[in-house]
Amino acid sequence: MFSSASLLTLLHLVLSITGSPVKASKSPVTIPMARRLQFSDSTTNHILARDKARANALRDPSMRGQRFFNTPLTNDYMIYTVSVGIGKPPTYYTLLVDSGSSNTWIGSSTPYVPTGSAINIEQPVSVGYGSGYFSGTEYLDTLTLSPGFTIIPQSFGVASKSAGFSNVDGILGIGPVLLTRGTLKNKDLNMETIPTVTDNLYSQGNIPADVVGIFFQPEVGPSRLDSGGELTFGGADPSKCKGDIVYTPITETNPASAYWGFNQAITYGSKTILSSTAGVVDSGTTFLLLATDAYEVYRTETGATVDPSTTLLMVTSDQYGALKNLDFNIDKQTVSLTPNGQIWPRSLNTNIGGKEGSIYLIVCDLGAPSGKGLDFINGYVFIQRFYTVLDTTNSRVGFAQTSFTDAVTN
């Protein structure tokens, strides 16, 4: 049995692993993701409510430790997951892929059964997500992402309490490591950071760069569980990209700079709806959220009205036919959401409380005016159309077109 002092010493040692990364010669490693539809059988408009609650947490860093919230906690949305093994031999857990947080944890559904390789650090840990939370204890153990692709050891949380994460076992956090600061509740460790899975893969020489590439396959049929894409650790997968990757530095504007934040301007057709400003790309957000003033310009330009059942913008068939590209001007280059990329998959209308045949837009109100330091969130509806690179090594994010950028599957 370890003493409290020796456990703290061990954790300090593990938390310092990323201080001196080794030079790795290995190639990037790609692991598959599953896309799962988790809509309830009842009519719901909770998806947007969850997004707004999460947006509030992203805008206010003090909410990361908050446990209690008012948003209904129903997992009524599409999620992207990976299977992660923990222990020797590994037990596999289904984890949400979240670029807006950095702690990895398990225990929401499948209980953690420690093997002989596990070390209970006996340190309390908790994270608030605005639309959910977990609290529990930090452990060390071997983490396996695919056969032969392991981290020894990885620090992760084991939940004793959680909310908002039914039907999954926890989160694989791939956000910037500074987001873990303050999540360990011991006063001696509160200002420490917990190396992320990506950080440790790099520091242990498993990948050539501290980079994650994300390929989200969008909805292409009625299946509730199918191939959802892939995560590439150590670089980008050029086979998923069409053309060059557009890179831009991490913004210096707070609070967006704490996340995968960057500067962009947004135009609808020839109309500027948001001048160059800071925001984030976030796999844990569903929709494309814009500052209220930009959202109102978009609503006026499209002629959309708010549907009371879903709370989403809705357009007629004629208005859909007249939709223009939504252009994201990033570092003097432009990527565009086509009209079809701006609508919710019509095959899923009834799953969100909508009507068959109706046309709902995926642009939503962030709930705050521009100029607050986080004026947009490019959620997974954006990532579904653009390959996304999260590059810690060079402090930048990147985007590239994919075979789904111009798809008309919605």
Please list, in sequence order, all residues whose beta carbon lies within 8 angstroms of the beta carbon of residue 273, skipping any fewer than 6 positions away: 266, 267, 290, 294, 297, 298, 301
Which one of 51, 76, 98, 141 is the catalytic residue? 98
The pair of structure tokens assigned to 1 is 């049995």
- Give the integer Cα–Cα distance in Å for 403 and 408: 11
Task: Report helix, strand and coil shares of the chain as percent, to nearest 5.
Answer: 20, 40, 45
Active-site residue, selected from the candidate residues 169, 282, 307, 365? 282
The question of whether 406 is a catalytic residue gets the answer: no
CB atoms within 10 A of CB 325: 16
Reported as half-sphere exposure (CB side, CA atoms, 13 A), residue 169 has a value of 23
Closest CA to 174 of 213, 226, 125: 213
- 266 with 273: CB under 8 angstroms? yes
Indicate if 98 belongs to the active site.
yes
Q: How far apart are alpha carbons 176 and 208 in whole angstroms?
A: 18
Active site residues: 98, 282
